């Protein structure tokens, strides 16, 4: 392990972007990253008046897909939810936490965590935020009847199975104990790295009001009015309206326990990337959402860098783009590796991203302290690729079903490059383009041979949701006991020094097996007017930790 990696972990600022994604995101909870380019046409809906410092206009290229605090498959939904629902902790920088709903989050043995809820924290209907709300939220996530994207978080807690659901025969989590109105303990299945617990439980889980959601049948929560038209919140802003696919309207919570927001109204306006640029130039937007939600086309970044009054910052991202390979159809790792050797992964970084990104060797980018210098990308060697396929008895007469999601222009163009590269070594490719939801379902059904997918990653290196046997986002069909064992070892580690070599071994093993093809991680951009005090951070997913303190300076 290099000294640089260790110093990043324990001292220097880590440059990063989303999660979460979930779907993003997540995020953010790990999940496929929907990086579509938004709606077509010109911006419509509310407009900001010149000199108005009480209204913030934010540009989005992805519309929020959920207001349900238990369920956020896409990164845009999770991002909007963070305005309305608070987590126990906030993370303004990678691996650095501050208090939110939890005034303290402590452990003495790395297994039992004692949590105190802020005595001033209340819901917007006047009810106090209590330890019961936290316990209810965690139990709801673990309830098999509740639709959720947070199973990776709940699986840490004592009393859940490997999918994060309640152990058979149990009606509540044995690892969650309420000890007072504002206090509780959470016990994990085994000692864990406190950083893992703080991110996956403290930061990723948004606390829901028990007195609202507890009155709803668990199986009905997703379709309930509380989830689709929410009205009770703990966060700095409240839901006002959502014009589907056009804009989300939020209003300040004047009784917010961390201080009343200084900006009264926020609009997240949904538009395509080209319109986003023109609206910023025209002064109709104050910032982009960033992080795969408000995406500036790479070729237009330089235009905004040269625009007076616009500040652009470029940072590496935790997230990545991958060519997933159906491991159920291609059982031979030599075939899978051959497909990777056939691809020139530097080409899209240099040409499509104009150098604003990096080639990936594993699931960890340079933003992550868990990226290993010892694991290098498989070399581009089409002749070797063709020979490996011939040696493996590959059927060159059978076309590969190649799934490419639309919306992300760079990813679509890279799909064409990959098709061309494979064709040049004699592989027939049937490229099929899908809108993102259709492609995600196709991948989940394993109805493909190869395909393109963006993954949102957390700061913590746990990637179980993508490659563990039976995991929710394991769209490669990977079922490898060695990988499962390494993932378990990684979660069981209680320090960076203990965990780094485990994830380094995992990265090398995944490359040796050709589980998937890491392609590239594109830079993330923070774009905003120079008179906004606040906005997105270098660590994108933690950007809203101080949104209640953001201000717009008067331009008069």
pLDDT of residue 17: 31
Q: Which of 454, 527, 534, 33 has the alpha carbon at shortest distance from 300?
A: 527
474 neighbors 465 (Cβ within 8 angstroms)? yes
475-485: pLDDT as tens digits: 999 999 999 99
Count CA within 13 A, CB hemisphere, residue 180. 8
pLDDT of residue 74: 78
Residue-averaged pLDDT of the chain: 90
pLDDT of residue 38: 44
Q: How far apart are CA 459 and CA 457, in angstroms?
A: 7
Mean pLDDT of 333-359: 97
CB burial readout 438-454, b (16+ within 10 A) else e = ebbebbeeeebbbbbbb
Q: How far apart are CA 38 and CA 43, in angstroms?
A: 11
CB burial readout 331-360, b (16+ within 10 A) else e = eebebbbbbbbbbbbebbbeebbeebbbbb
368 neighbors 459 (Cβ within 8 angstroms)? yes
The percent of residues above 70 in pLDDT, for the chain, comes to 92
pLDDT of residue 151: 87
Mean pLDDT of 498-519: 98
247-272: pLDDT as tens digits: 999 999 999 999 999 999 999 999 98
504-513: pLDDT as tens digits: 999 999 999 9
476 neighbors 327 (Cβ within 8 angstroms)? yes
Q: How far apart are CA 102 and CA 245, in angstroms?
A: 34
20 neighbors 31 (Cβ within 8 angstroms)? yes
Q: Which of 201, 200, 135, 142 has the alpha carbon at shortest distance from 168?
A: 142
Q: Which of 295, 402, 412 has the alpha carbon at shortest distance from 348?
A: 412
pLDDT of residue 167: 85
Q: Which of 394, 419, 299 has the alpha carbon at shortest distance from 338?
A: 394
Backbone φ and ψ for 30, nearest 5 degrees, come out as: -55, 140
Backbone φ and ψ for 114, nearest 5 degrees, come out as: -100, 125
- Phi/psi region, residue 258 (left: phi>0; alpha: psi -120 to 50; beta: rest), is alpha
| Tokens found for residue 506 | 């995992």
| Tokens found for residue 258 | 């961390």
17 neighbors 318 (Cβ within 8 angstroms)? yes
pLDDT of residue 293: 87
Q: Which of 145, 121, 149, 144 has the alpha carbon at shortest distance from 133?
A: 121
The alpha carbon dihedral of 107, 108, 109, 112 has a sign of negative
Burial of 397 (0-12, 13-18, 19+ CB in 10 A): exposed
Residue 537 has pLDDT above 60, yes or no: yes
pLDDT of residue 50: 83
11-48: pLDDT as tens digits: 322 223 333 333 333 334 445 655 444 444 455 688 88
Backbone φ and ψ for 286, nearest 5 degrees, come out as: -100, -25
pLDDT band at 299 (very low <50, low <70, confident <90, very high): confident
540 neighbors 524 (Cβ within 8 angstroms)? yes
Angle at 115 between CA 113 and CA 116, to 5 degrees: 160
pLDDT of residue 162: 83
Inter-axis angle of helices 333-341 and 496-513, nearest 10: 90
pLDDT of residue 444: 92
186-216: pLDDT as tens digits: 999 999 999 999 999 999 999 999 999 999 9
Helix (H) and strand (E) counts in the chain = 17, 24
pLDDT band at 10 (very low <50, low <70, confident <90, very high): very low
Backbone φ and ψ for 479, nearest 5 degrees, come out as: -145, 80
Q: Which residues contact 33 (CB under 8 A, 6 or more apart)?
A: 18, 20, 21, 22, 23, 24, 25, 75, 292, 319, 453, 454, 455, 456
pLDDT of residue 1: 37
142 neighbors 165 (Cβ within 8 angstroms)? yes
Residue 3 has pLDDT above 60, yes or no: no
Gyration radius (Cα) of the chain, Å = 23
pLDDT of residue 292: 77
71-83: pLDDT as tens digits: 987 788 999 999 9
Q: How far apart are CA 22 and CA 515, in angstroms?
A: 21
> Where is pLDDT greater, at 486 or 36?
486
| Tokens found for residue 52 | 């108005």
Mean pLDDT of 380-409: 95
pLDDT band at 6 (very low <50, low <70, confident <90, very high): very low
258 neighbors 100 (Cβ within 8 angstroms)? yes
Q: What is the DSSP pairing of strand 287-288 with strand 55-60? A: parallel
């Amino acid at each position: 392990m290099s000294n640089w990696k260790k110093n990043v972990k324990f001292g220097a600022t880590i440059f990063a972007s989303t999660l979460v994604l979930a779907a993003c995101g997540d995020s953010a909870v790990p999940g496929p990253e929907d990086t579509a380019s938004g709606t077509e046409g010109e911006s419509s809906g509310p407009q900001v008046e010149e000199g108005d410092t009480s209204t913030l206009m934010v540009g989005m290229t992805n519309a929020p897909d959920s207001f349900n605090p238990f369920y956020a498959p896409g990164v845009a939904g999770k991002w909007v939810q963070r305005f309305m629902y608070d987590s126990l902790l906030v993370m303004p920088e990678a691996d650095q936490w501050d208090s939110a709903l939890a005034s303290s989050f402590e452990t003495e043995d790395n297994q039992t965590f004692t949590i105190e809820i802020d005595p001033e924290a209340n819901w917007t209907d006047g009810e106090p935020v209590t330890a019961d709300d936290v316990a209810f939220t965690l139990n709801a996530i673990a309830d098999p009847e509740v639709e959720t994207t947070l199973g990776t978080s709940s699986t840490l807690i004592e009393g859940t199975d490997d999918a994060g659901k309640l152990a058979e025969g149990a009606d509540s989590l044995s690892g969650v104990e309420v000890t007072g109105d504002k206090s509780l303990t959470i016990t994990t299945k085994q000692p864990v790295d406190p950083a893992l617990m703080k991110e996956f439980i403290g930061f990723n889980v948004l606390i829901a009001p028990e007195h609202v959601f507890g009155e709803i049948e668990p199986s009905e929560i997703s379709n309930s009015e509380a989830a689709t038209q929410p009205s009770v919140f703990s966060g700095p802003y409240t839901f006002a309206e959502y014009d589907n696919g056009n804009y989300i309207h939020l209003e300040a919570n004047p009784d917010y326990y961390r201080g009343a927001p200084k900006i009264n109204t926020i609009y997240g306006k949904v538009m395509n990337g080209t319109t986003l640029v023109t609206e910023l130039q025209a002064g109709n937007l104050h910032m982009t959402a960033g992080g795969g939600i408000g995406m500036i086309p790479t070729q237009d970044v330089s235009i905004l860098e040269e625009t007076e009054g616009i500040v652009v910052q470029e940072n590496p991202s935790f997230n990545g783009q991958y060519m997933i390979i159906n491991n159920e159809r291609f059982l031979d790792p030599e075939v899978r590796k051959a497909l990777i050797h056939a691809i020139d992964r530097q080409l899209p970084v240099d040409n499509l991203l104009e150098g604003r990104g990096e080639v990936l060797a594993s699931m960890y980018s340079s933003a992550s302290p868990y990226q290993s210098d010892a694991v290098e990308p498989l070399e581009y060697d089409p002749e070797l690729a063709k020979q490996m396929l011939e040696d493996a008895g590959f059927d060159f007469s059978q076309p590969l079903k190649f799934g490419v999601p639309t919306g992300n222009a760079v990813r679509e163009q890279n799909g064409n490059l990959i098709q061309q590269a494979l064709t040049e070594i004699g592989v027939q490719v049937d490229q099929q383009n899908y809108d993102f939801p259709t492609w995600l379902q196709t991948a989940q059904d394993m109805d493909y041979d190869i395909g393109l997918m963006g993954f949102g990653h957390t700061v913590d290196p746990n990637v179980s949701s993508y490659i563990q046997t039976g995991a929710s986002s394991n769209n490669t069909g990977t079922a490898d006991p060695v990988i499962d064992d390494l993932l378990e070892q990684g979660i069981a580690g209680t320090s960076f020094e203990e965990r780094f070599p485990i994830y380094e071994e995992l990265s090398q093993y995944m490359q040796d097996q050709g589980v998937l093809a890491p392609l590239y991680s594109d830079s993330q951009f923070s774009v905003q007017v120079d008179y906004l005090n606040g906005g997105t951070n270098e660590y994108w997913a933690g950007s809203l930790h101080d949104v209640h303190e953001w201000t717009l300076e008067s331009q008069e």
